[in-house]
Chains A and B, each alone.
Chain A
C-alpha cells in the first residue's frame, strides 16, 4: 500500500474516534435538554411523553425558581469575582516568573498544586482551618478563596504561554523611546497580551461557576448553584431540574460567547489578517 493511501486510512480512523468522542461528550447534555421539553406528564427518562414548554413555565411560576434564583445570582457574582481575581493574579504572577526571580521554579510548582490537589480535600481542609480561626464559611469569603486557588493556576498557565510568545524587545524599545516601566506595560505589553488575559478571565469564570467539590464545605448556608442543584436532586427529580440545567448551560454558553467574541475582535485588532 502506498504510504499516502495508508495515511488517508489513518485519517478516517482517527476522524471516527474523534467524532465518537465528541458525541460522548455532548450527547448527555443534549439528552437533558431534550427531556426538559417533555409534556406535563413526562418523566425524567425516555420515552418522552409529549412535547411542551410546561417545565419551563413551571420554572417561571413555581416556588422552585424562587429557590434557585439566589443560588444563580450567587454563583454568577462569585464567578465574576473569581474571573477578575484570576486575571489580576495570573498576569502579575506570570510577569514575576518572566523576571526569573530566585525560586521562580518552586513558585511555579506551588501555584500548580491548585490543579493537582483533590478539590474535595482542599475544600474540607480549608473549612477546617477556617473553623479553627473562628471564621464562618460563606460563599463570598471562604468559597471565593478556595475557588481562586482552583482557577488561578489555569489563568497562570495561560499567561505563561502568552508571555512565552511575547517579544521582550518590544518593551525595551518602548523604554528607549522614553516610556517608564509602568507606561511600557500599559501601552505595549498589556494590549498585546490582552487576548490571553481574556482567556484567563474566561477560565476564572467558567471553572468557578460550576465548581462543586471545593464549594461543598466552604459555602455555608447560602448555597451556590451547583450545590442547590445537588440538593434538589436529593429531594425530587422532575424534568423541571432539566429545565434549570438547560437554562444555566445556555447562560454559561452565552457568557463564553461574549468572552470569545471579545477575544477575536481584540486579536484582529492586534494582528490584522
Chain B
C-alpha cells in the first residue's frame, strides 16, 4: 500500500504507542490504522491494554512514546477537548445532576453554539434516538437501555470524526445486547463515523468489526478482517482466545512438499506451511477448528485418541469437550439435531484433514 496519499484517508493512526505505569507496561508499541468510516474492534482479555490504548486516543492518557494522528493531524500532546473525538464509557458516565436534554446538549454548549440552535439540535437527536419522552428526566430515573441511548446521543451530537466506545454494551442486560449491537452497527454505517469499540467479547468483535485487533499483554497479537482471524489465527494465543479452536503444540519435523510434520505427545500431525518453514526441532503450535473435526472411524491423515469429558448444548450445535491421552483439551462441534454419539466417559478418535489445520507463527 502506498504510504503518502493514504494518510489523508485515515481517520486515525497510531504509530508505536507505548504507555507505562511505573514498571508496568500497559501498551507496548501499538500501531494501527483506521480508515475513514471503519468499524474497528479492540479485542482481548482484561488487562491486555485495549482500554489504555483507547484512552490514549481520547487524550485521557499521555503515551510515553509514539504518535497519534487523527484525520492526519498530530494530536499526541493535545488535551481531550481539542481532539475530534467523542467517547462512550462502560457505565455511561451520565452526569447525575443534569436532565437528559441538558446533557445531550452539553457537547454543543462546549462548542459555544447559540442557545436556539442547541435546543433544536437536541430535540432532533432525542427524536432520532427515540428518547424525546425522557428529555426532562435525570439519569437516576432511567433504565439501563435508556441510559445507553442517552450516552450515545450525548456522544454523537457533535458528529465527531471518531467515536470511542469502551465496552459500551457490557453494562446492559444480556437480552438487550443483540438488539443494541444491530442498532449501533446500522448507526455507524449510516453516519460514516469511525467507531473504535473495545470489548473482551469475541462475538461482539466478530459480528460488528470491519477490522478486529486482538491484543494480549500490551501488544497487538493479530489484526485484520474477522474472517482472516477466524480462518487464519496467527498465534497460539489468538487461536486459543477465539472460541472453537483446538490448539496443539509440538516439535517441527523436516518440511516436505509444503507440509510440516509436527511431533506432539499425542502423536505426529501434518500441518500446511505458510511462508518459511520453521527450523526442524523448533517448538511450534497449530490449530484446527472444532467444526472441522470428524469423529469415529475414518481414514483421515491426522488422528488423535480422546475421551469425552462433557457435552454442552448451544443453540445451533452441540459441543463435545474431550481430553487427549496427554491431557490436551479438544473440542468437536456437531451441527444439526443428530442423536448424540458421545457421552461423558466415551473413548473415541478424532480426525481432520491436513488443509484444515493452521500453523502459528
Please give the residue numbers on chain A whose beta carbons come within 8 Å of chain B beta carbons, in ascending order.
167, 169-170, 172-181, 183, 187-188, 191-192, 269-273
Contact = CB atoms under 8 A, between A and B. Distances in A.
Interface stretch (B5-13, B104-112, B322-330): B104-112
Given A179-B81, A180-B81, A272-B141, A173 B110 contact: no
A176 B140 contact: no
Given A169-B89, A269-B97, A178 B158 contact: yes
Given A188-B95, A191-B97, A270-B97, A177 B89 contact: no
A179 B110 contact: yes
Nearest to A192: B97
B93 A167 contact: yes
B158 A176 contact: no
Given A169-B89, A271-B140, A273-B140, A175 B97 contact: no
Contacts of B141: 272-273
Nearest to A170: B93
Contacts of A167: 91, 93
Contacts of B85: 176
Nearest to A179: B110
Given A174-B95, A175-B81, 20 more contacts: A167-B91, A170-B95, A172-B58, A172-B80, A173-B87, A173-B89, A173-B93, A175-B59, A175-B80, A176-B58, A176-B80, A176-B81, A176-B87, A176-B164, A178-B107, A178-B158, A179-B81, A181-B79, A192-B95, A272-B141
Contact of B60 (A175, A179, A191, A272): A175
23 contacts: A167-B93, A169-B91, A170-B93, A173-B94, A175-B60, A176-B58, A176-B60, A176-B86, A176-B87, A176-B155, A177-B86, A177-B107, A177-B154, A177-B155, A180-B79, A188-B95, A191-B97, A192-B95, A269-B97, A270-B97, A272-B140, A272-B141, A273-B140
A264 B111 CA distance: 33
Contacts of A181: 79
Interface string B59-81: 11000000000000000000111
Contact of B93 (A172, A183, A269, A272): A172
Interface residues of B, number: 27
B110 A271 contact: no
Q: Is the interface of A mostly helix, strand, loop or mixed?
A: helix
Interface string B186-218: 000000000000000000000000000000000
B353 interface: no
B138 interface: yes
Interface in B90-126: 91, 93-97, 106-107, 110-111
B158 A169 contact: no
A180 to B, nearest CB: 6
Nearest to A184: B81
A192 B103 CA distance: 14
A175 B81 CA distance: 5
**Closest A-B pairs by Cβ, 5 of them:** A178-B110, A173-B93, A176-B87, A175-B80, A169-B93
B109 to A, nearest CB: 9
A261 to B, nearest CB: 19
A178 B158 CA distance: 10
Contacts of A172: 58, 60, 80, 87, 89, 93
A177 B97 contact: no
A151 to B, nearest CB: 27
Nearest to A178: B110
A237 B220 CA distance: 83
A178 to B, nearest CB: 3
Contacts of B158: 177-178
Contacts of B95: 170, 173-174, 188, 192
Interface in B125-183: 138, 140-141, 154-155, 158, 164
A105 B112 CA distance: 40
Contacts of A173: 87, 89, 93-95
A85 to B, nearest CB: 26
Nearest to A171: B93
Nearest to A270: B97
Contacts of A270: 96-97
Nearest to B157: A177
A191 B58 CA distance: 25
A91 B140 CA distance: 26
Contact of B79 (A175, A188, A191): A175
Contacts of B155: 176-177
Task: Choose among B58, B59, B81 the residue with the greatest number of A CB atoms under 10 Å from its CB.
Answer: B81
Contacts of B154: 177
A177 B140 contact: no
Contacts of A170: 93, 95-96
